[in-house]
Homo-oligomer: A and B are copies of this chain.
Amino acid sequence: MDPNAKKTALRMIPYGLYVLTAESGAETAAATVNWVTQTSFAPPLVAVGVKADSHAHAIIKKAGAFALNVLGKGQDAMAFTFFKTAEREGSTISGQPYRAGSTGAPILANTPAFVECRLVATVEKGDHSLFVGEVVDAGVSKEPQGRADDATLWLKDLGEKVFYGG
């Protein structure tokens, strides 16, 4: 296999950006991720790829739940904030206010939408694991004008040369 062809072909997959959150006891995780897809309508399922040695990975496994907070157009700064290690202080994570969702996963106040998931399957096969979650709650704080996916911050919006994995 030609490694350059593999890299280019995989980079042709377009992505949105999400702040993945989870909480277990006193531990909170929040990290910007992009490897996300829906995988079923009934029940509604989504899958997210999460770095196997990350804090978020450990917390999601303990909590059995997670939330995907959908970043909106213009929220580039928030995306970069959650590329760094998240720090909880009172009812904020890295400065962003949040509340606990029905599963306990943090729901950010300032993102336009979220889905909250109960973990129903895990595929641990590589340097990232795939967590499959059933959507048990969802919210939209800012109704998109036009197409819903146009309201989302896309990985490509972060810059001409920004790809996950460098």
Stretch of A24-32, A56-64, A80-88, A115-123 at the chain-chain interface: A115-123
- A15: contacting residue among B37, B49, B132, CB under 8 A: B37
Question: Which A residues from 110 to 159 make CB contacts under 8 A with B?
Answer: 112-115, 120-121, 123, 125-130, 132, 134-140, 143-144, 146-152, 154-156
User: If A14-B16, A15-B14, A160-B147 touch, does A8 touch B140 (CB 8 Å cutoff)?
Assistant: yes
Contact of B12 with A113 in the complex, beta carbons under 8 Å = yes
User: If A9-B70, A16-B12, A139-B9 touch, does A123 touch B121 (CB 8 Å cutoff)?
Assistant: yes
Size of the A side of the interface (Cβ < 8 Å), in residues, is 65
Q: Is A36 among interface residues, defined by CB-CB distance under 8 A?
A: yes
Number of copies: 2
Q: Is A47 among interface residues, defined by CB-CB distance under 8 A?
A: yes
Contact of A13 with B149 in the complex, beta carbons under 8 Å = yes
CA of A87 to CA of B165 in the docked complex: distance in angstroms? 38
CA of A135 to CA of B7 in the docked complex: distance in angstroms? 11
Provide the A37-73 mask, 1 if CB < 8 A to any CB of B, else 0: 1111111111101000000000000000000001000
A4 to chain B, nearest CB (A): 8
CA of A9 to CA of B5 in the docked complex: distance in angstroms? 33
Q: Which residues of chain B are within 8 angstroms of A2 by Cβ–Cβ distance?
A: 138-139
Contact of A126 with B39 in the complex, beta carbons under 8 Å = yes
Q: Interface of A with B (CB < 8 Å)?
A: 1-2, 4-6, 8-16, 35-47, 49, 70, 112-115, 120-121, 123, 125-130, 132, 134-140, 143-144, 146-152, 154-156, 160, 163, 165
